[in-house]
Amino acid sequence: GAVVSQHPSRVICKSGTSVKIECRSLDFQATTMFWYRQFPKQSLMLMATSNEGSKATYEQGVEKDKFLINHASLTLSTLTVTSAHPEDSSFYICSALPGNLAGGTDTQYFGPGTRLTVL
């Protein structure tokens, strides 16, 4: 149980285009999902917290207009990188928290990641 999928696993796009990445919790509901960015040989950097039915909360320094997050249902969150540029190339990983946070678990389950390359 507690499986999280991401799609696509790898994407290559031209500079200036937009890319959408999906994160799905396959066998549980998640009111909260997180989006991370990971540079080579580095740790994960939290970009934003995605809450079902409300606006995402972005970490300091993350452009909310560039990284659009939508959490449309209890099992799906999407990250759209708008007008992508080569510096946006990175490994993007999502995670999901099962259940309702109020008194619930704080164990995150991670997706397999999406490798974005912007040419």
- Interface ranges with another protein (CB under 8 A): 4, 6, 32, 34, 42-44, 46, 49, 91, 93, 95, 97, 101, 103-113, 115
Find out whether 113 and 93 touch, Cβ atoms under 8 Å: yes
Residues 6+ apart with CB under 8 A from 13: 19, 84, 116, 117, 118, 119
Report, in Å, the least distance between residue 110 CB and another protein.
Answer: 4
Cβ-based nearer residue to another protein, 16 or 104? 104
Least gap, CB of 118 to another protein (angstroms): 17
CB of 56 to another protein, least distance (A): 12
Measured from the CB atom, the residue of 40 and 86 that comes closer to another protein is: 40
Closest CA to 34 of 114, 99, 92: 92
Report the C-alpha gap between 30 and 72 in whole angstroms: 11
Closest distance to another protein from the beta carbon of 44 (Å): 5
Which CB atom, from 12 or from 46, has the smaller least distance to another protein? 46
C-alpha dihedral, 87 to 60 to 9 to 14, nearest 10°: -30
